[in-house]
Amino acid sequence: MRYIDEFRDSAQVKGILDEIESLGLREGINLMEICGTHTHSISRYGIRGVIPRGIGLLSGPGCPVCVTTEEEIDAIIGFARENRDVVIATFGDMLKVPASVGSLEGVRAEGSDVRVVYSPLDALEVAIGEPEKEVIFCAVGFETTAPTVGATVLKAMELGVDNFSVISLHRLTPPAMRSLMEEGEVRIDGFICPGHVTAITGSEAYRFLAGEYNTPCVVAGFEPLDALLAIYMLLKQIKDGRAEIEVEYSRVVTPKGNTRAKRIMERLFRVVDTRWRGFGLIAASGLKLKEEFSLYDAERRFYIRRMEAVDKDQGCRCADVIRGIITPEECSLFSTLCRPESPLGPCMVSTEGTCSAYYRYERR
Amino acid sequence: MSQRITLAHGAGGTRTEELVKGVFLEAFGNPILEELSDQATVEMEGKRVSLTTDSYVVSPLFFRGGDIGKLSVYGTVNDLSVGGATPVYMSASFIIEEGTELSLLKRIAESMRDALRECNTRIVTADTKVVERGKADTLFINTTGVGLVDDHVELSATNIEEGDVVILSGTVAEHGAVILAERADIDIPFRSDCAPLNGLTSVMLRAGGVKLMRDVTRGGLATILNEFVDASGKGIIIEEGLVPIREDVRGVCEILGMDPLYLACEGRLVAIVSPEAADRVLHAMHCHPMGRGAAVVGRIVAQGRAVILRTTMGVERVVGKLSGENLPRIC
Amino acid sequence: MCLGIPALVIGLEGEEALVDVAGARRKVSTALVEGIEEGDYVIVHAGFIIQKIDADRAAETIRMIRELGRRP
């Protein structure tokens, strides 16, 4: 497959690893990726196992499902339970996330109409196909997914569809990175930046990390050779004492990004302060539909009761895993009480979650 | 165990195991049932008789390369055949939703007729029930199959040893990819691999050296290999590069972010074969239309009690059981 | 964070494109991009084209990977 197989060519792995080795960086270096798809491919291709011991590959808040707060999921589940005739459309990733009152998978089993879709446009198709039903789309995701939801709302307006609305749970990546740096709980020597978020935002979005925090950044693609090359480029910057924003994934990412997608995102959404699971409140880090589009904002059309934030401590340390402070193995519940078939936290449930990737691909 | 049944319990992974052991084995388990294999072989009047049962709830009812009727016959035949039995008789019971068109049932019945003829077996007893609209997804079919096991056939997990070879009869994930593609509006050139395996299993048994066989269905190759590990107590190493898969099936998996090792097949089997018989069996398979794509994908190892995949990147990782519904993802 | 797949554009109609990934084809929206033509390779995410792939930069990255491999 073009642009996939060339970047999975195992013959090139040894060469890059030798170059990484030759940099001679021995002391503990922490590189953090903050993208669930990176977490997934790094574990799946065993990258952690082939790079030199001293280099730590941490997973940050990269999975949109994991950072959705429990009270947001509880609110959706509570609403679905009380409104069984309303269609709740969601990405597959959201189905199994446990919240205090169960999960969307569980509430579907109780009779609510929860449907998995591949695209927000599919959710709009459901609304068009079943005009007598209200359809709500749970819009999770970062800067890559928000424009697709914005474009879908615009299309709904254009077609005059009045039984379709969206719960916007979108979050923005740079504010989370700033929060990681501000809190400084874990030393981060370099960021592997998310390829497809940056395809939208443009690599300039991370300038503050180099400027204010003197931290090297490399925007990486998702194939194994992309990850290895990006790791090499980061380590080279560290060795040279540089802190720049470099783009490994140059075939897709430009400094400015996708201006048309950004325009749509800015036109439909306003930036709000929002809570992240594991972080608490992060300023200017969430997106909600603007007043002008309130007809399509499920939180305005319906009474989706918001529970107040309840930080229960049942030993689940997803919050620390999400911030990269601990690895899954350091959580006492990992693979004992907390397993894919009996997940206690989102990091184990979501296929993009750090613990799920570790459990599936790195358990010995 | 979770308090309510979810779709994950139907996916063939750990949740299914939990349900089967926690509810049914608990209630009416016995040594034969506890083997949890695709079919049970029992002694009756000096003859070895094999029995299997399955339900078919596929949706959509008609898909590229097959339909629920064809699937119900081939699935029953395949479960018997991988147990070394020659399918002889079948039963079929139909649970039909109120409002289903008769013409649709006729098409499915004719499709079953053709499949029965192809497998040289007959439905000798049947039943129909009609349920109110909404109580069934148009049509469910449950079947039972009966077969006779020849004396020379000796298939059991107990004689699996280190060094035994793992042979897969063809390309993976086609049936699963057809169903998923249809749900996600992806247009595909390939069809479900839905097909009978009785011809293939008989040539394999004749070649000799086959220790155990299972048809790869719900949960895909990874689930079946994990079942072999549970049954034999040994480990399995498979080479990712050796697992045959069509490019366009890989395309669907890439689009939906899914691992083909967990997608269903409906006309593929996996066999554990002694090393000295491997070439002979493989050759016999290649001479049969259902085994043309057969390939050695790995081998049995003594320790580990797990399925290890050596990836094309040369790294080894555990291939676990499916732990719930296998869903497409966006992130 | 966002699964995106390289796909070949084999048809264009209104605000939709028909894309192909190794023979698997799907209609996707072009609402988020401009100037997409048949024969372009694009990244598809959640039913939308989110960016065009730059063939020259891809070749450049491959060259960089290969050069790393050969350096003494």
Expressed in percent and rounded to 5, the helix, strand and coil fractions of chain A are 45, 20, 35
CA distance B180 to B60: 10
Tell me the one-letter amino acid at B233. G
Predicted local distance difference test score (pLDDT) of residue A190:
97
Predicted local distance difference test score (pLDDT) of residue C10:
98
- Close Cβ partners of A295 (under 8 Å, ≥ 6 residues apart): A162, A165, A301
- pLDDT for B209 beyond 60: yes
Backbone angles phi, psi at B107, to 5 degrees: -60, -40
CA distance B99 to A310: 48
* A/C interface, count of CB pairs below 8 Å: 143
Q: Architecture of C5-70 per CATH?
A: Roll (2.30)
- Close Cβ partners of B77 (under 8 Å, ≥ 6 residues apart): B87, B119, B121, B145, B196, B197, B198
- Tell me the Cα Rg of chain A: 21
Alpha carbon dihedral B39, B215, A44, C3, in 10-degree steps, equals -110
Predicted local distance difference test score (pLDDT) of residue A59:
92
Query: Pick from A122, A148, A352: which is nearest to C45 by CB?
Result: A148
| Residues A165-208 pLDDT 10s | 999 999 999 999 999 999 998 899 999 999 999 999 999 999 99
Predicted local distance difference test score (pLDDT) of residue A7:
95
**A263 at interface of C, judged by CB pairs closer than 8 A:** no
Residue with tokens 């084209």: C49
- Close Cβ partners of A117 (under 8 Å, ≥ 6 residues apart): A89, A90, A91, A123, A126, A137
C-alpha separations of A218 from A131, A214, A247, A249, B237 in Å? 46, 13, 5, 9, 36
CB-CB neighbors (< 8 A) of B190 in chain C:
23
Percent of the residues in chain A that have a pLDDT greater than 90, as a whole number: 68
Residues A91, B330: C-beta atoms closer than 8 Å: yes
Alpha helices in chain B (DSSP H): 14-19, 26-28, 31-34, 68-81, 102-118, 174-183, 198-207, 220-232, 247-256, 275-286
- pLDDT for B226 beyond 80: yes
Residue A110: which of A83, A141, A72 has the closest Cα?
A83
The reply to whether omega before B289 is within 30° of 0 (cis) is no
Give the chain C residue whose CA is nearest to the CA of B182: C26
Give the chain C residue whose CA is nearest to the CA of A151: C31
Predicted local distance difference test score (pLDDT) of residue A162:
96
* Residue B126 three-state SS: strand
pLDDT confidence tier of residue A339, bands split at 50, 70 and 90: confident
* Residue B271 three-state SS: strand
Q: Architecture of B157-318 per CATH?
A: Alpha-Beta Complex (3.90)
Predicted local distance difference test score (pLDDT) of residue A312:
54
C-alpha separations of A327 from A39, A362, B110 in Å? 12, 12, 57
Q: What is the dotted CATH code of the domain comprising A1-364?
A: 3.40.50.11740
Q: Chain C interface residues facing chain B, Cβ-Cβ under 8 Å?
A: 1-3, 5, 7, 20-27, 44-46
- Round the average pLDDT of chain A to a whole number and report it: 92
| Residues B11-53 pLDDT 10s | 878 888 889 999 999 999 999 999 888 899 999 999 999 999 9
Predicted local distance difference test score (pLDDT) of residue A310:
52
What is the domain partition of chain B in residue ranges? 37-149, 157-318
Q: Which of residues 231-250 of B touch C (CB under 8 A)?
A: 247-248, 250
ipTM field: 0.90
CA distance B257 to B260: 10
Query: Pick from B181, B248, B255: which is nearest to C5 by CB?
Result: B255
Predicted local distance difference test score (pLDDT) of residue C8:
98
- pLDDT for B303 beyond 90: no
Tell me the one-letter amino acid at B192. S
Burial of residue B7 (number of CB atoms within 10 Å: 0-12, 13-18, 19+) = middle
The more confident residue out of A322 and B2 is: A322
CA distance A301 to A291: 12
Query: Chains contacting B with at least 3 CB pairs below 8 Å?
Result: A, C
- pLDDT for A121 beyond 60: yes
Copy the structure tokens of residue B179: 């169903």
In the DSSP assignment, the letter for residue B127 is E
A58 close to A324: Cβ distance less than 8 angstroms: yes
Which residues, listed in sequence order, are joined to residue A116 by a DSSP beta bridge? A90
pLDDT confidence tier of residue A20, bands split at 50, 70 and 90: very high
C-alpha separations of A41 from A120, A329, A349 in Å? 24, 18, 17
CA distance A174 to A181: 11
What is the domain partition of chain A in residue ranges? 1-364
Distance from CA of B69 to the nearest CA of C (A): 26
pLDDT confidence tier of residue B306, bands split at 50, 70 and 90: very high
Distance from CA of A350 to the nearest CA of C (A): 11
B139 close to B105: Cβ distance less than 8 angstroms: yes
Residues C23, B257: C-beta atoms closer than 8 Å: no
| Residues B162-190 pLDDT 10s | 999 999 999 999 999 999 999 999 999 99
CA distance B278 to A228: 38
A121 close to A159: Cβ distance less than 8 angstroms: no
Predicted local distance difference test score (pLDDT) of residue A309:
56
C-alpha separations of A290 from A67, A262, C8, C16 in Å? 22, 15, 35, 26
C8 close to C19: Cβ distance less than 8 angstroms: yes
CA distance A99 to A309: 12
Q: Which range, A341-350, B65-74, B152-161, B223-232, is most confident?
A: B65-74
Alpha helices in A269-306 (DSSP H): 298-301
Backbone angles phi, psi at B220, to 5 degrees: 75, -170
Mean pLDDT across the stretch B63-76?
97
| Residues B114-145 pLDDT 10s | 999 999 999 999 999 999 998 888 999 999 99
The structure's pTM equals 0.91
* Residue B199 three-state SS: helix
CA distance A133 to B73: 38
CA distance A199 to A220: 10
Mean pLDDT across the stretch A132-155?
97
Expressed in percent and rounded to 5, the helix, strand and coil fractions of chain B are 35, 25, 35
Strand runs (DSSP E) across chain A, as ranges?
A: 29-33, 55-59, 87-90, 113-116, 135-139, 164-168, 190-194, 217-220, 245-247, 269-276, 280-289
| Residues A234-265 pLDDT 10s | 999 999 999 999 999 999 999 999 999 999 99
pLDDT confidence tier of residue B192, bands split at 50, 70 and 90: very high
Burial of residue A53 (number of CB atoms within 10 Å: 0-12, 13-18, 19+) = exposed
CB-CB neighbors (< 8 A) of C3 in chain A:
37, 196
C-alpha separations of A294 from A288, A364, B271 in Å? 10, 50, 59
Tell me the one-letter amino acid at B124. V
Pairing of strands A190-194, A29-33: parallel
pLDDT confidence tier of residue A27, bands split at 50, 70 and 90: confident
Copy the structure tokens of residue B115: 């499949």
Distance from CA of B240 to the nearest CA of C (A): 19
CA distance B228 to B233: 8
Residues B187, C24: C-beta atoms closer than 8 Å: yes
| Residues A66-102 pLDDT 10s | 899 988 999 999 999 999 999 999 998 888 887 877 8
Give the chain A residue whose CA is nearest to the CA of B251: A1
C4 close to A195: Cβ distance less than 8 angstroms: yes
Distance from CA of B302 to the nearest CA of A (A): 16
* Residue A219 three-state SS: strand
Predicted local distance difference test score (pLDDT) of residue A138:
96
CA distance A329 to B316: 19
Q: Architecture of B37-149 per CATH?
A: 2-Layer Sandwich (3.30)
| Residues C1-34 pLDDT 10s | 589 999 999 999 999 999 999 999 999 999 999 9
End-to-end CA distance of chain C, in Å? 37
Distance from CA of C46 to the nearest CA of B (A): 6
**A255 at interface of C, judged by CB pairs closer than 8 A:** no
A304 close to A76: Cβ distance less than 8 angstroms: yes
CA distance B213 to B155: 8
CA distance C69 to A15: 3
Give the chain B residue whose CA is nearest to the CA of A225: B313
pLDDT confidence tier of residue B2, bands split at 50, 70 and 90: low
Query: Chains contacting C with at least 3 CB pairs below 8 Å?
Result: A, B
Instruction: Output the DSSP codes for A311-343.
Output: ---SS--HHHHHTTSS-GGGSTTBTTTBBTTB-
Give the chain A residue whose CA is nearest to the CA of C3: A37
| Residues A152-175 pLDDT 10s | 999 999 999 999 999 999 999 999
C-alpha separations of A127 from A85, A148, A297, C14 in Å? 13, 17, 15, 21
Give the chain C residue whose CA is nearest to the CA of B186: C26
